[in-house]
Amino acid sequence: MAAGSETKHNFLEMTEIRKSFGDMTVLHDVSLSVSQGEVICIIGPSGCGKSTFLRTANWLTPADGGEVRLAGELVGGVPDARSVSTQTKELNALRARVGMVFQNFNVWPHLSVLENVVCPQMVVAKRRRGEAEKQALAALAEVGLDDKKSEWPDNLSGGQKQRLAIARVLAMDPVLVLMDEPTSALDPELVSGVLNVLKRLAQKGMTMIIVTHELGFASSVADRVVFMEEGRIVEEGAPDVILQTPKTERLKLFLEKLNITAFKPNSDSAGHPTMDSGS
Amino acid sequence: MSIDLSIITNYGPQLLLGFWMTIKIVVGAIILGMPFGLVLALGRRSRLAIIRFFATSFIEVFRNTPFIIQVFMLFYVLPFYGLHLPAEYVGVVALAAFGSAYFAEVIRGGIDAVAKGQLESARATGMSDWQAMRYIILPQTLPIILPAMTNQTLSLVKESAILSTITVGELTMAAITVQGETFRPFEAFIMVALLYWALNETLAIIMRRVERKVSRRTSSSSRAKVVRAAPAATEG
Ligand SMILES: Nc1ncnc2c1ncn2[C@@H]1O[C@H](COP(=O)(O)OP(=O)(O)OP(=O)(O)O)[C@@H](O)[C@H]1O
Ligand SMILES: [Mg+2]
């Protein structure tokens, strides 16, 4: 949901991002501009470069060409005139404000649930323990994990692990959250719990880029859906336009394929691929 | 051949003195060698090629040459460059350098055994490479490497016997002296062997306690990881 009059255009500006692995070009000068408060869902077939593109947004995967700016500040760019140590310092400072949620959670198994959320606040944001714990408890409550704060992550279900990963991100007060298939590694019955958390975040105006195969979720939460194929953005626009009236043959094929494999084509609950944009 | 117990009573104190020197040298080598091993392991991962080169060369040289040659190099060659150190200091430094090369490889294996996503998720929060190591990777590495670190420590105790060749008054040196004075090699060396064995057994027991303590703090799946990573960590 765009935050009305406060909407600031070009909050995240990704310009002509190019990336190759060996001889294989994975991203062909891909550009994306995201406004503050906007929720973007990226869809596309496996191997089309969604993850790679998302990971250039916080320069976790450095691009070979193009640049990324967040609120005007350079996240990364090729060429980059800054010295390596300046780059690293400024990048770390920017990453502290950009959260990332991974497909396989990447919670830290040697730290308790609470400490998972406290640790980056103290190490990166330099908060005192008292404040960090207060923020952590608030973030855990937001994702419904406040009663698990003393648990070890390994004793959590997949859905709980992913919500922990989200709490870890939220406690840092991010201005942007990047998510790479946050529900793909989950058992079907755990998907909706995570998606509901994401919906609430979207309603609160969090700027998010979410790579997902959950079309039902995309259509109800996204402000814009971006369809990628073979390292390019092929179509983008409002979810109902993109998902109901695809212009290109490739998107049509992609949606058909997803619909055939969908568990319940017209499911009313979030979490199943569906063309239903209602509710 | 009968055992002459009077040798134990007469020369026991002399052997214990050597034993004490062995303990001091090994402890010194561990205190210097483990942190330096960590430095070497991190050096191999450095962004700077020159640091990677030095760390790798150091590890390769000390792992692929006989310890006795390393000891001779330090003891006989350094004085040519005007560096005169007492034999005990040369012994500690040589043992620490030798040990650090092995510790480094164990630590590196442990770091590699921690899932790649752990480092990525730490860096994504804005942690520097070092912060991610310090708070996220190394704590998970510790339970993985402890068994192999124990093995390396025990072998340092045994290697320290070589220092008798440069006149360090440690346990083996003491045994050779007693043997020379009494012409009773059996009594002298059996006692020494028992003392080495006792030292290593004590160390092993302590380390097993530490291992249990560390793995109790970590969760079930990282314990599973310990088991899976153990062969990789102990090789080399
Ligand atoms: N680190 C890497 N080294 C080499 N090739 C890579 C690397 N990461 C990705 N690739 C390749 O780049 C292409 C795009 O990968 P990417 O992970 O971005 O696709 P994706 O759209 O996220 O796919 P999926 O839906 O399966 O997650 C793939 O062909 C992949 O094999
Ligand atoms: Mg992917």
Of A173, A206, A223, which residue is a domain's last?
A173
One domain for residues A43 and A86: yes
One domain for residues A162 and A231: no
pLDDT for position B212: 87
Tokens of B43: 């050096």
Cis peptide before A79 (omega within 30 of 0): yes
Q: Which CATH superfamily is domain B8-235 in?
A: MetI-like (1.10.3720.10)
* A21 CA to centre of ligand 2 in angstroms: 15
Domain count, chain A: 2
Hey, what's the torsion of the CAs at A190, A194, A197, A198, to 10 degrees?
-140
Using DSSP, state whether B83 is helix, strand or coil.
Answer: coil
One domain for residues A91 and A164: no
CB contact under 8 A, A109 and B218: yes
CA distances from A180 to A47, A113, B97 (A): 13, 21, 45
Residue among B123, B217, B221 minimizing CB distance to A154: B221
Give me the amino acid identity at A172: M
Q: How many residues does chain B have?
A: 236
Gap between the Cα atoms of A163 and A151, Å rounded: 14
Gap between the Cα atoms of A243 and A256, Å rounded: 10
One domain for residues A162 and A237: no
Q: How far off is chain B from A105, nearest CA to CA, in Å?
A: 9
One domain for residues A190 and A231: yes
One domain for residues A136 and A78: no
Q: Taking a C-beta distance cutoff of 8 angstroms, is the pair A67, A15 a contact?
A: yes
Give me the amino acid identity at A260: I
Query: Is residue A31 within 8 angstroms of chain B, CB to CB?
Result: no
Is residue A102 in a domain? no
pLDDT for position A61: 96
CA distances from A30 to A99, A232, A246 (A): 21, 6, 20
Nearest residue (CA) to ligand 1, atom 13: A47
Name which of B24, B167, B162 is nearest B94 in CA terms. Answer: B162
pLDDT for position A275: 43
pLDDT for position A262: 56
Gap between the Cα atoms of B196 and B23, Å rounded: 10
* A257 CA to centre of ligand 1 in angstroms: 20
Q: Taking a C-beta distance cutoff of 8 angstroms, is the pair A245, A24 a contact?
A: no
- With the most atoms of ligand 1 within 8 angstroms of its CB, the residue from A17, A20, A21 to mutate is A21
Question: What 8-state DSSP symbol labels residue A109?
Answer: T
HSE-up of B176 (CA within 13 Å, CB side)?
Answer: 13
Name which of B130, B98, B137, B131 is nearest B116 in CA terms. Answer: B137
- For residue A243, the enclosing domain spans 1-97+175-279
Name which of A183, A165, A160, A161 is nearest A119 in CA terms. Answer: A165
One domain for residues A133 and A215: no
Q: How far off is chain B from A123, nearest CA to CA, in Å?
A: 7
pLDDT in tens, chain B (236 residues): 577 778 778 888 888 999 999 999 999 999 999 999 999 999 999 989 999 999 999 999 999 999 999 999 999 988 888 888 899 999 999 999 999 999 999 999 999 999 999 999 999 999 999 999 999 999 999 999 999 999 999 999 999 999 999 988 889 988 898 888 888 888 888 889 999 999 999 999 998 998 888 876 654 444 444 333 333 333 33
Gap between the Cα atoms of B91 and B32, Å rounded: 12
Helices (H), A185-232: 188-203, 215-221
Which residues of chain B does A102 touch, with a Cβ-Cβ cutoff of 8 Å? Answer: 117, 120-121
ipTM: 0.87
Tokens of B139: 């704590």
Residue B81 CA from chain centroid, whole number: 27
Phi and psi, residue A80, nearest 5°: -125, 120
Number of H helices, E strands in chain A: 9, 10
CB contact under 8 A, B128 and A168: no
pLDDT for position B12: 86
Which pTM was predicted? 0.86
Q: Taking a C-beta distance cutoff of 8 angstroms, is the pair A41, A11 a contact?
A: no
Spell out where A142-257 has E strands.
Answer: 176-180, 208-211, 224-229, 232-237
One domain for residues A192 and A154: no
Residue among B47, B121, B125 minimizing CB distance to A124: B125
Gap between the Cα atoms of B138 and B98, Å rounded: 22
Name which of A146, A128, A129, A126 is nearest A137 in CA terms. Answer: A146
Looking from the CA of residue A52, the nearest atom of ligand 1 is: 18
- Residues A219-239: b if buried by 16+ CB within 10 A, e if exposed: bbbbbbbbbbbebebbbeeeb
Q: Which residue shows structure tokens 């609470």?
A: A114
**Which CATH number do you get for residue A8?**
3.40.50.300
Of A156, A173, A190, which residue is a domain's last?
A173
Question: What tens digit of pLDDT does each residue of A229-272 get?
Answer: 999 999 999 999 999 999 999 999 999 988 766 544 444 444 44
* pLDDT < 70 positions in chain A: 1-9, 260-279
Give me the amino acid identity at B211: E
One domain for residues A65 and A196: yes
Gap between the Cα atoms of A172 and A125, Å rounded: 7
Name which of A116, A101, A109, A121 is nearest A172 in CA terms. Answer: A121
Of A128, A145, A173, which residue is a domain's last?
A173
Across the A:B interface, residue pairs with CB atoms under 8 Å apart total 77
One domain for residues A112 and A164: yes
Gap between the Cα atoms of B189 and B178, Å rounded: 9
One domain for residues A37 and A137: no
One domain for residues A179 and A167: no
pLDDT for position B216: 67
Nearest residue (CA) to ligand 1, atom 8: A52
| Helices B138-159 and B87-113, packing angle to 10 deg | 140
Burial, A112: exposed, middle or buried (Cβ in 10 Å; 0-12, 13-18, 19+)?
middle
Q: Taking a C-beta distance cutoff of 8 angstroms, is the pair A143, A164 a contact?
A: yes
Residue among B117, B127, B139 minimizing CB distance to A102: B117
The C-alpha angle with vertex B228 and arms to B226 and B229, in degrees rounded to 5, equals: 65
Tokens of B159: 């290697």
Helices (H), chain B: 6-43, 49-63, 67-72, 87-113, 116-124, 129-132, 138-159, 171-182, 185-217, 220-234
Using CA of residue A199, residue A200, residue A201, residue A207, what is the dihedral sign?
positive
Q: Taking a C-beta distance cutoff of 8 angstroms, is the pair B167, B88 a contact?
A: no
